[in-house]
Chain A
C-alpha cells in the first residue's frame, strides 16, 4: 500500500488510528484518535512522534525499531501508559497494535497503529477489586476488633452492627434493632439530643467524618461511655448515602483516667510530704525533679534544679561516693537499690544523714526517696558514746559490773569481772558467768536469778564467786531491770560488791557484840548517872541563837522556871556586871560561827549566891557546813575562880611586900652600908696617912689597895640602891619620878625620852606610884632592848575617869601575838599587865611590824589609891 492509500484508509476509519511515516515518524491520525491526543491536537498532526510524545518514547522506540527493521507487527492489550496529554501526567490504559506500512518501493516507510483506549474499563475494574478487598477487610476488622462497628444505610435508615456489640454490651442478636431508631433510643437521654444535632450537622454540612462522646445503654440497663467516630460516604454528587462508625468503649479508659488522676493526686500528695524527700533523676544521675522537702533537706535551690545543674556529687560527701556509686550500679542492674544510709553535706557546709531508697521508673528515669535521719543518727551516736563512756567508767569501778539483755542473758561484764574471775567477756556472756559461782551456791543463784528475770523484780543475793586463782570470796550481788519509757525492760544492770572481809568479820563482830553488850549496859548506866548528877548545865539554841530549847539543868542551877528561860530571860539570873560581856561574846559567835566562850557569874539557887561559870558553845552544822543550831555547856568554875582571885590577891600582896622589901633593902644599903663603907674609907685613909708618916710603906700600900676595893663596893652599893628603889619615889610624885627616870635612861642607857606631863597630877599612893613607875621603866627598857631606836615618848595625863600613861616608840614594832615574848628581865609585858590588873588597870598595845609600838596604860581614878582594891 502506498502512503496515500494508507493515509486515506486511516482517515476514513472510525477506529482510532495513526500512521507514523518516514524516519521521523511523522504523525497522521484520524478523528477517532483525536480523543487520545487530548490537548496535543491539533499541533500533533504532521509532528514527529518523538517530539509529540516524549513521555512514552521509551515505550515507543523499541516497538518502532522492531517494526521498521524486522517488519513485525506488535500488539499490546491494556497497556498502562502515563501521558501528559492534558498538561498533567495521567494514567491511561490502551490496547495497541503496530504494523509496518510499505512505501512505493516496497520498503517499510511507516508504522500503522490502531489505538483503543481502555482506561475507563481498567479503572472500573480496579475500583471494583478495591471495593471487594475493602469489604473483605471491613468484615475481617469488624470481626477482629473489640470496637463496636456500625453501618448505617442512609437511604433506608437500616443499621448493621458487628459482633462486638453482643460481647461488649450484652445484647443478643435478636435484641439488636436493625434501624437507626434503635441506636437513637439507647443513647442516654441527657446526651441524645446533642448527639443527634451533631451527627445531622455533619451529614448535612458535607463533612466526611463525625465524632462524639456519649453514654450508651448496656443490655442490663446501665450506661457505658463511648467515643463514636463515623465516616460519611458520599456519591459523586456529594450526597451522603452511607455512614460507617465505630464505638470505642470509654468506660475502662474513663476509669483508667480517673485512676490516673487519683494516682497523680496521690503522687502530688506524696511529693508534698514534709518528711520524705522525693527526687527524680536520670541515668547520668542528673536531678530532674524534686519535691520541696528534698530541696529543704539538701539545701539546694529549685532554680538550679530546673537548670539541670544538680547531681549526686553535689550533696554527697567524698567518703560516701563509693557507696552511692554502688547503689547506682545496683539500680542499673536490678531496677532498684537496697536502701542505705549516708552522710551528706549542704552547700552551707552543714551535714546531715539520709536514708535513701530508689527505683528505676523508665529507661532513663529513676526515683529516690530520702528520709532525714540526722536526729536519729545523732541520738544513736550519743547513745553509742554514752555507752562507750559508761563502759570506760565502769571498767574503772572497783566493783564487778555487768549488763544482761531482757531475757537475762549477760551481754557485757566490766574489766573488774574479768580480772577477778579470770573469765573473758565471751566466757562470761550468756549464762557463762554461772561457772564463776561457787558450786554449792550455783543452783540457788540460778533459780533466784531466773525468777527475777521472769518477774522483772530486783535480784539480790549473797554468794561466793571464784577468783582467778581458784579461791572463793563472798559477794553481795544485785541486779536491777532498766526500763524504757513504755515500762518495758530494755536490759538488766548488775553489780557484785566484795563483802568477803565484811562477811568474815561478821561472826567475830557478833561475838564481840555479845561480849560487849553486857559491859555496855553497865557503862551506859554509869553514863546516865553521870549526866543526871553532873554539875554541868547543858543548853541548845536554834541557828540564830535567839530561841533556846528547854534546859532542865539550867533551871536546876538557877532556880529559874522554864517559861522565863524559854522567853530568853536569862539576864535575871546573871550578874549585872557580866551581862554586857556575855552579849558581846554571844553576838560575836552567832555572827562569825566561832565557838562561844565566856566566864560570868550565875545565880546559884541552892547556895543563894553568885557562882562563876564558864560557858562554852559550839555551832552544830549540817552536811554543807551551814549552822543549824548551837549546843553549849556551862561549867561551874566558882572554886577555880575564887582560887584565882585568891592567887591574884596574894600575888599583889607579894608584889607589895617585895616592893617594900626592896625599899627596905635599898634604904639599908644607902643609910647603913654605904655610910659604913664611906666611914671605913675615911678610917683607912687615916691609917694610911699614919703608916706613911711611920714610913711603913708596905702596910700603907696594902691599905690603899683595900681602899680601892671599898671604893668599888661603894659604887656597887650606890647603883644597887637606885635599882632596887629609886630614892626619889619615896619623896617625890610620879611626874618627878618619871623625870628622874628620863634622866636615868639618857645617862645610863642612852635612850632619849620625851616626857609630856600634865600640869596637875593626882597624889598617888606610894605603892601605886612605884608600880606605875616600874611599869614605865619596864616599857622603856623594852624600847631600848627591842625597838632598835634611841628615842621614846612618855605621856602622862589624867581624864575624869582614868590616869593614862602612854609609852610610844617608832621602832621595829611587833606582832601582837609575839608581844608576850618581848619582855624585859623579870618584868615583861605580861607581868606589867598582871600588875595593872591588880589595881583595876588595863594595858593596850598597838603595834605592827615596822610601825613602832604604842602602849597605853589606863588606871581608873577611883582605884588610884591602893586601898580601894577589892580583896
Chain B
C-alpha cells in the first residue's frame, strides 16, 4: 500500500481528497496538512511514498515546498496539484523537482497519476498535453 501525504490549504479539498483517495485500495493517506510550513513541520515519519502538493499555498508556495523537500530528501516523489492550466507552471514544477503535474479538473486522473509516478514515471494531465 502506497503512502500519500497531502498538502492542501482548502479545507473542502483536504476532506474531499482524503475521502476520494481512501476509496483506492492501494493508497493510504498518511497525513493532510494546510500549508507548506505545516508540511515541513509535520512531515510524516517514515517518509511517505508520494507527496501531493497544491501549488497555490498561502505563504510558501507549492514550488518552494518541493524544492525544500528535495533538499532534505532528494528523490522524494512529489506531485503538483494545481488549478492553473498554463504550461509554464508545468515546466516550473518539474524544474523544482516534481514528478507530476496534476490539474484540478478530472478526478479520475488522480489515482492514475499516483500509480504512474509511483511506478517511476512522470505525469502531466491529459488536458495539458494537447
Which A residues are closer than 8 A to B by beta carbons?
670-672, 674-676, 678-679, 681-683, 685-686, 689, 711, 714-715, 718-719, 721-722, 727, 731, 739-740, 743-744, 747
Q: Which of B73-121 contact A (CB under 8 A)?
A: 83-88, 104-108, 110
Complex CA–CA separation, A678 to B87 (angstroms): 19
Given A675-B12, A681-B107, A743-B88, answer yes or no on A718-B83 (Cβ-Cβ < 8 Å). Answer: yes
- Is B56 a contact partner of A727 (Cβ separation < 8 A)? yes
Pick 30 A–B contacts, CB within 8 A, sort by A: A670-B83, A670-B84, A671-B10, A672-B10, A675-B10, A675-B12, A678-B83, A678-B104, A678-B107, A679-B10, A679-B12, A679-B15, A679-B16, A681-B105, A682-B17, A682-B19, A682-B107, A686-B23, A689-B23, A711-B105, A715-B85, A715-B105, A718-B83, A718-B85, A721-B84, A722-B84, A722-B85, A727-B84, A743-B87, A744-B86
CB pair A682–B83 under 8 Å, yes or no, is no
Smallest beta-carbon distance A210→chain B, Å: 163
In the complex, A597→B20 CA distance in Å? 73
Which residues from A are CB-within-8-Å of B16? 678-679, 682-683
Q: Which residues of B contact A722 (CB under 8 A)?
A: 84-86
**Are A740 and B88 in contact, with the CB atoms below 8 A?**
yes
- For the complex of A and B, 5 pairs with smallest distance between CB atoms: A678-B104, A679-B16, A682-B107, A675-B10, A682-B20
B16-39 at interface with A (beta carbon < 8 Å): 16-17, 19-20, 23
Shortest Cβ distance from A731 into B: residue: B61
**B13 x A675 contact (CB < 8 A):** yes
Q: How far is the CB of A675 from chain B (nearest CB, A)?
A: 4
A744 closest partner in B (C-beta): B86
Chain A residues with Cβ below 8 Å from B61 are: 731
Residue from the set B23, B104, B110 with the largest chain A CB neighbour count within 10 Å: B104
Q: Which residues on the A side are within 8 Å of B10 (C-beta)? A: 671-672, 675, 679
- Min Cβ gap B24→A in Å is 11
Q: Of all chain B residues, which has the CB nearest A715?
A: B105
What separation, in Å, do the CA atoms of A743 and B85 have in the docked complex? 12
Q: How far is the CB of B12 from chain A (nearest CB, A)?
A: 5
Question: Could you tell me the distance in whole angstroms from the C-beta of A201 to the nearest C-beta in chain B?
Answer: 163
Cβ of B37 to closest chain A Cβ, rounded Å: 17
**8 Å CB contact of B56 from A671, A683, A714:** A671
B residues with a Cβ closer than 8 A to A are: 10, 12-13, 15-17, 19-20, 23, 56, 61, 83-88, 104-108, 110
What CA separation (Å) do A718 and B110 show in the bound complex?
A: 18
A430 to B14, alpha carbons, bound, how many Å?
Answer: 127
Q: A675 touching B20 by the CB < 8 A rule?
A: no
Please judge, given known A-B contacts A718-B84, A731-B61, whether A676 and B12 are in contact too, CB under 8 Å: yes
**Smallest distance from the beta carbon of A479 to chain B beta carbons, Å?**
99
How far is it, in angstroms, between the C-alpha of A171 and the C-alpha of B104 when the chains are bound?
A: 179
Nearest chain A residue, comparing its CB with the CB of B58: A671
Task: Check A743 against B86 for contact (C-beta < 8 Å).
Answer: yes
Residues in A neighbouring B20, C-beta threshold 8 A:
682, 685-686
Whole-angstrom distance from the CB of B102 to the nearest CB of chain A?
Answer: 11
Which of A674, A685, A689 contacts B104, CB < 8 Å?
A: A674
Q: How far, in angstroms, from A152 to B84 measured CA to CA in the complex?
A: 178
Q: Cα distance A688–B104 when bound, in Å?
A: 18
Q: B88, A686: Cβ atoms under 8 Å? A: no
Contacts of A676 in B (CB 8 A): 12
Bound form: Cα–Cα A672–B110 in Å: 20
Given known pairs A714-B104, A727-B84, the reply for A686 and B13 (CB within 8 Å) is no
A670 vs B89: C-alpha distance in the bound complex, in angstroms? 15
Give bound CA distance, A743 to B12, whole Å: 32
Which residue in chain A gives the minimum CB-CB distance to B13? Answer: A675
Give 11 new A-B contacts, CB below 8 A, not counting A671-B56, A679-B13, A747-B86. A674-B104, A675-B104, A678-B104, A678-B105, A678-B107, A679-B15, A682-B16, A682-B107, A685-B20, A711-B106, A740-B88
A675 x B107 contact (CB < 8 A): no
A421 to B91, CA, bound (A): 105
A718 to B10, CA, bound (A): 17
Contacts A679-B16, A681-B107, A711-B105; A674 near B83 (Cβ below 8 A) = yes
CA distance A683 to B20 in the complex (A): 8
Which residues of chain B are within 8 angstroms of A721 by Cβ–Cβ distance?
83-84
A679, A727, A739, A740 pick with most chain B CB within 10 angstroms: A679
Distance from B83 Cβ to chain A, minimum over Cβ atoms (Å): 5
Bound CA–CA A739/B89 (angstroms): 12
Q: Which residue of B lies closest to A742 (CB)?
A: B88
A678 and B13 form a contact (CB under 8 A):
yes
Q: Considering the complex, give the chain B residue whose CB is closest to the CB of A747.
A: B87
Closest to B10 in A: A675
Q: Which of A676, A685, A711 has the most CB of B within 10 A?
A: A685
Interfacial chain B residues near A670, Cβ < 8 Å: 56, 83-84
The CA of A731 and the CA of B85, in the complex, are separated in Å by: 17
A870 to B61, CA, bound (A): 36
A708 to chain B, nearest CB (A): 10
Which of chain B's residues has its CB closest to A727's CB? B84
B128 smallest CB distance to A (angstroms): 11
Complex interface: chain B residues within 8 A of A682 (CB):
16-17, 19-20, 107, 110
Residues of chain A lying within 8 A (CB to CB) of residue B87: 743, 747
For B19, list chain A residues within 8 Å (CB): 682, 686
In the complex, how many angstroms separate the beta carbon of B66 from the nearest chain A beta carbon? Answer: 15
CB nearest to A740 among chain B residues: B88
Shortest Cβ distance from B54 into A: residue: A675
Tell whether, in the assembled complex, residue B83 and residue A675 are in contact, meaning their CB atoms are under 8 Å apart: yes
What residues of B have a CB within 8 angstroms of the CB of A747 in the complex? 86-87
| CA A678 to CA B106, docked complex, whole Å | 8
Chain B's closest residue to A743 (CB) is B88
Q: Which residues of A contact B23 (CB under 8 A)?
A: 686, 689
Q: How far is the CA of A676 from the CA of B16 in the complex (A)?
A: 10
Q: Whole-angstrom distance from the CB of A677 to the nearest CB of chain B?
A: 8
| Complex alpha-carbon distance, A744 and B110, angstroms | 26
Q: With a CB–CB cut-off of 8 A, which chain B residues contact A683?
A: 16
**A711 cross-chain contacts in B, Cβ below 8 A:** 105-106
Instruction: Name the distance in Å between B126's Cβ and chain A's nearest Cβ.
Output: 12
